[in-house]
Amino acid sequence: MAAAVIGSSVDAVIAGRGACSLMLTGGKTAEGLYNHWFRFSLLPRQGMRYFFGDERCVPPEHRDSNFGLVMRTLFANERPSGACVSRMEADDPDREAAATRYEALLPEQIDILLLGMGTDGHVASLFPYSEALRTTERTVLPVQGPDAGHPRLSITGRVVANAETVFLLATGEDKGRVLAEAMKSPRDVMSLPVRMALNATWLLDEAAAGQIR
């Protein structure tokens, strides 16, 4: 369902403009989406510009790399001719420089932005109470997750707010409960960053949707 809905949106942008910027996300749900797109060749090859919403500071071939995930799934054969894939160079030791370079690559507005969500309510790599949630000027920043895992690069809320179309992918009861909680206090983005996507199109499985009343 998600593959068809998002794919139709991509087709509409391509039909109207001849090009489409699609910002990809990571995670298990996205992995299934990308595998489906690859298996059935559902995305256009010409005119696509692929970006990433966040990336761990690891080499592109690392198992935790979002770029690596996409190359193993959506582009398992090869990068499509006629498309541009812009990797976040988060493996650069100078993370600030890498963030600045990626900012320069981003268009003013992303046509279609995909977001996953963690059970703590984070989207991209914008975790609860992150200082990156306060920025209004920057579009990409170095960030650190709440644990001792890899540091990351992440888009900011400005990119989410400016995107023409945003899709939020969420599966399972736990994430459904988080979304139900997010709806109660929609302005409190600091405690649940997913609130910045309350106006997005939510693509949920039955377990997640069942938690929302």
- Contacts of 64-68 with CB under 8 Å at 24 or more apart are 64/150, 66/24, 66/25, 66/26
Round the average pLDDT of the chain to a whole number and report it: 95
Residue 82's pLDDT is what? 87
Domains of the chain in start order, with CATH, are 20-169 (3.40.50.1360)
Question: What confidence tier does 106 reach under pLDDT thresholds 50, 70, 90?
Answer: very high
Residue 80 pLDDT greater than 90, yes or no = no
157: alpha, beta or left? (left if phi > 0; alpha if psi -120 to 50): alpha
Average pLDDT over residues 89-117: 98
Q: Which residue's structure tokens are 């998002």?
A: 6
Residue 79's pLDDT is what? 79
Residue 147's pLDDT is what? 77
Residue 163's pLDDT is what? 98
Residue 78 pLDDT greater than 90, yes or no = no
Average pLDDT over residues 162-186: 97
CA–CA distance, 2 with 205 (Å, rounded to integer):
10
Residue 189 pLDDT greater than 80, yes or no = yes
* Element holding 143 (H helix, E strand): strand 140-143
Percent of the chain with pLDDT over 70: 100
Residue 77's pLDDT is what? 79
Residue 109 pLDDT greater than 80, yes or no = yes
Side by side, the strands of the sheet bearing 84-85 are 84-85, 48-52, 20-24, 112-115, 165-170, 201-204
Segment 25-71, tens digit of pLDDT: 999 999 999 999 999 988 998 999 999 999 999 999 999 999 999 99
Average pLDDT over residues 174-202: 97
Average pLDDT over residues 170-192: 97
Residue 145 pLDDT greater than 90, yes or no = no
Q: What is the pTM of this model?
A: 0.96
Residue 202's pLDDT is what? 98
Instruction: Tell me the H-state helices in the chain.
Output: 2-17, 28-40, 66-72, 95-105, 157-162, 173-182, 206-209
Percent of the chain with pLDDT over 90: 92
